[in-house]
Amino acid sequence: MSPSAAAPADKQARSHGYDFAGPLGVGAITIVAPSVSYLLYFGCNEHGCPPTHLSWPQYVERVLPTKDQFFSLEVLGYFVAYVLGLALLNVTIPVRDRLGVPLKTGERLVYNLNAYETFVPLMGSLAFGTYMYGWEWSLWTWIWDHYLHLLTAAHIFSFTLACGVYLASFRSSKPLLAAGGNTGNHLYDWFIGRELNPRLGNFDIKLFCELHPGMMGWAVLNLAFAAHQYQIIGRITDSMVLINIFQFWYIFDALFNEPAILTTMDITSDGFGYMLSFGDIVWVPFTYSLQARYLAMYPLDLGVLGVAGVLFVKGVGYFIFRGANSQKNAFRMNPDDASVKHLKFIETKSGRKLLISGWWGISRHINYFGDWIMGWSWCLPTGFDTWVTYFYVGYFAVLLINRERRDDGHCRIKYGDDWNRYTSIVKSRIVPGIY
Ligand code: NDP
């Protein structure tokens, strides 16, 4: 931490109300979200997606696992070794140091950024193994065979981590707490994250979890699913190739643009609790890879027209998503940059400016809309024989609507009346003219 001349602030101040309908809401999410991650497995597998043709006794007999199929201590050990291995790479690979945004204490944390420097050798070694042993490589088979064990291991790990950082947040040195995660209600604060930036020395647990085990694990799972498809039909279909490329690109983009995460809500405002621990380590890798897992079991060829259609949807979504995010980043870094200096903005009392033309004049979160459209291009390659794989766009719509509301609340506090002025100029929240 680098000290600053700014006036000291109360690091443990309580300054925020409840999100997610308070303790009852977060309690419900803590039960429902993990259940959904299992439901997607039990509701979409080799027996059907969903296996509705089975009677309940057949379903119980064929699909529901025994305790040993559900949990394996050995796999939990491998999972922990995987996360610790990535953490070790995180602290040993040469890094680019960046300062985070100023905290309310005036301090700025130093972040060691090396997500894609870790990802490239990880992917390189998987590519090498596949080159040597083919798609039948035992690692790929192992991941497929132990999917349920891995899912349970990820659950145990994320839950334990959330409890650990919550307990540690009460340590006597009084760390900086997240405004939203310091309500005094144990369940709520554990879920939202009580401590803003839990760290072990310079190792930032939140940043690590945001980009390392889960995002990278998602890419690994997708490849294992492609390998499984190859093992059952002797080739990899165009739909599987598309899903793998799209999602690999999304992951690589996030890792490559790692500095951009330092200004996101997750890093600047949210504490690190079960919400992020579960989201990063369980939800992202295991539910976002559903489409590839489906195609591993139910291969599908799209043909030239199908591929072109999906590419079109992806292109439109990416154009909006990248255009809006890059425009805001460029504006926040340097409003006089040639790419943004023609844009209109309003001045605010906080000293910061808010764009009112360009992408950010179309809607207040046009980047979310682009991201959601891209989500469709991840589901469409699975065809129309199932609705389960479209779960992602439904869930993502709910997430983005909630996220926009939360960001709106934070901005209202940050900008006061200026935010009202801004929202009276840019009226749509996400979808221009509709929402
Ligand atoms: P945004 O990148 O949309 O950032 C919101 C912040 O931007 C606000 O808090 C405000 O911060 C600033 N801002 C808002 N309006 C303006 C304006 N008019 N002019 C200038 N600055 C403005 O938020 P997220 O972190 O939620 O999203 C980042 C990306 O990540 C999005 O594309 C989203 O789709 C994606 N995402 C993907 C998820 C997934 O699971 N796939 C989950 C969550 C997000 P300030 O004024 O302080 O700069």
Indicate if ligand 1 lies below 6 Å from the C-beta of 407: yes
**pLDDT for 207 beyond 90:** yes
**pLDDT for 100 beyond 90:** no
Task: Compute, in degrees rounded to 10, the torsion defined by CA atoms 399, 401, 404, 410.
Answer: -80
pLDDT tens figures, 359-383: 999 999 999 999 999 999 999 999 9
Q: What is the pLDDT of residue 209?
A: 97
Indicate if ligand 1 lies below 6 Å from the C-beta of 291: no
Choose the residue to mutate in 263, 328, 425 for probing ligand 1, maximizing ligand atoms within 8 Å of C-beta: 328
Q: In ligand 1, which atom is closest to the CA atom of 279?
A: 40
Query: pLDDT band for position 3 (50/70/90)?
Result: very low
Indicate if ligand 1 lies below 6 Å from the C-beta of 288: no
pTM: 0.89
Indicate if ligand 1 lies below 6 Å from the C-beta of 360: yes
Q: What is the pLDDT of residue 43?
A: 94
Q: Tell me how far the alpha carbon of residue 356 lies from the centroid of ligand 1, in angstroms.
A: 15
Total Cβ atoms within 10 A of residue 198:
22
Indicate if ligand 1 lies below 6 Å from the C-beta of 355: yes
pLDDT tens figures, 380-415: 999 999 999 999 999 999 999 998 998 898 899 889
Indicate if ligand 1 lies below 6 Å from the C-beta of 169: no
Choose the residue to mutate in 371, 376, 408, 412 for probing ligand 1, maximizing ligand atoms within 8 Å of C-beta: 371
pLDDT tens figures, 60-92: 888 888 888 999 999 999 999 999 999 999 999
Q: Rounded to the nearest 5°, which phi and psi values hold at 194?
A: -80, -45
Indicate if ligand 1 lies below 6 Å from the C-beta of 325: yes
State how far the Cα of 11 lies from the Cα of 414, in Å rounded to an integer. Answer: 18
pLDDT tens figures, 231-246: 999 999 999 999 999 9
Beta bridge partners of residue 2, listed in sequence order: 108
Q: Tell me how far the alpha carbon of residue 264 lies from the centroid of ligand 1, in angstroms.
A: 6
Mean pLDDT of the chain: 92
pLDDT tens figures, 327-349: 998 888 888 888 888 999 999 99
